[in-house]
């Protein structure tokens, strides 16, 4: 049994990684974490508006953002946070999605930021290489109904409580995409650290040289004073 603070269900969606989105700057990604209106492989249909209440209560725009990013839905490995979450109506969905899946009624757009940690860097690298090419949400079903009149016998999710939006290897729905992925620029961080180290070493060498010069001057002054004292004693 999952812990009480973990979601009871997960639902994932493949995304497309665009080459132009690979910017090693902020460690951010953006795309559609859920699609509304179409039947997924789990036999569910998320209705448009199902995320409205949970986003208002616990999303990035609420008083306390409680929708996080985890490594492959492992709640013991948080790797980032959601920066933006919003429901997008069908009229504003990407054209390629509408052409491929005309039944969709909208989607859940997410922009997230992955932290610069070993686990976070691993996930970003896998996303960049196309190994991790799907997004998945962790949620609880709050309001639902079964469409017995439909041949699909689909479960309609009218309201959900959202916990996370995570990059994962596998998903249930064939309709989703990522529009932007950015990875921390590690080489710039390393260059900056090397430059700072070199500057610190140079400053230390300068300080030591000044101390040695001051000591030499003090020694010479002392010698002169001793010589003067000796002359006065003659």
Residue 15 DSSP label: -
| Mean pLDDT to the nearest integer, 101-129 | 90
pLDDT at position 175: 53
pLDDT at position 104: 93
Cα–Cα distance for residue pair 59/111, rounded to 1 Å: 12
User: Residue ranges of the alpha helices (H) in 14-117?
Assistant: 52-58, 95-100
The more confident residue out of 174 and 210 is 210
Cα–Cα distance for residue pair 233/14, rounded to 1 Å: 97
Q: Which two tokens stand for residue 201?
A: 């070493």
Instruction: Kindly tell me if the per-residue pLDDT of 214 is higher than 70.
Output: no
Q: Given 3-state DSSP classes, what are the helix, strand and coil percentages for the chain, each rounded to the nearest 5? A: 35, 35, 30
Which residue reads 């690979």 in tokens? Answer: 22
Nearest to 27 by CA among 129, 96, 115: 115
pLDDT at position 139: 92
pLDDT in tens, 141-165: 999 999 877 666 889 999 999 999 9
| Mean pLDDT to the nearest integer, 90-110 | 89
Nearest to 88 by CA among 38, 35, 46: 35
Cα–Cα distance for residue pair 97/31, rounded to 1 Å: 12
- If you count them, how many residues does the chain have? 234
Instruction: Kindly tell me if the per-residue pLDDT of 202 is higher than 80.
Output: no
Instruction: Kindly tell me if the per-residue pLDDT of 81 is higher than 90.
Output: yes
pLDDT at position 117: 92
| Mean pLDDT to the nearest integer, 31-51 | 90
pLDDT at position 18: 46
pLDDT at position 145: 93
Cα–Cα distance for residue pair 126/147, rounded to 1 Å: 38
Give the number of other Cβ atoms within 10 Å of residue 162's Cβ. 26
Q: Is the pTM of this model over 0.75?
A: no
Cα–Cα distance for residue pair 90/36, rounded to 1 Å: 9
- The answer to whether residues 71 and 119 touch, using CB atoms and an 8 Å cutoff, is yes
């Amino acid at each position: 049994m999952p812990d009480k603070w973990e979601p009871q269900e997960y639902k994932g969606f493949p995304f497309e990684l665009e080459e132009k989105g690979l910017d090693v700057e902020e460690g951010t990604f953006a795309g559609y974490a859920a699609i509304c209106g179409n039947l997924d492989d789990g036999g569910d249909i998320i209705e448009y508006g199902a995320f409205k209440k949970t986003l208002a209560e616990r999303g990035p725009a609420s008083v306390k953002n409680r929708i996080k990013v985890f490594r492959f839905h492992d709640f013991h490995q948080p790797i980032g946070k959601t920066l933006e979450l919003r429901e997008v109506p069908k009229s504003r969905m990407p054209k390629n999605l509408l052409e491929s899946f005309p039944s969709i009624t909208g989607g859940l757009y997410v922009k997230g930021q992955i932290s610069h940690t070993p686990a976070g860097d691993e996930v970003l690298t896998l996303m960049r290489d196309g190994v991790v090419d799907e997004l998945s949400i962790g949620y609880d079903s709050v309001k639902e109904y079964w469409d017995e009149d439909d041949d699909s016998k689909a479960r309609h999710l009218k309201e959900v409580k959202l916990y996370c939006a995570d990059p994962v290897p596998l998903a249930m729905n064939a309709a989703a995409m990522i529009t932007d992925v950015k990875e921390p620029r590690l080489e710039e961080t390393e260059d900056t650290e090397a430059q700072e180290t070199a500057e610190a070493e140079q400053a230390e060498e300068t300080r030591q040289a000044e101390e040695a010069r001051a000591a030499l001057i003090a020694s010479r002054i002392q010698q002169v004073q001793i010589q003067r004292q000796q002359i006065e004693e003659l």
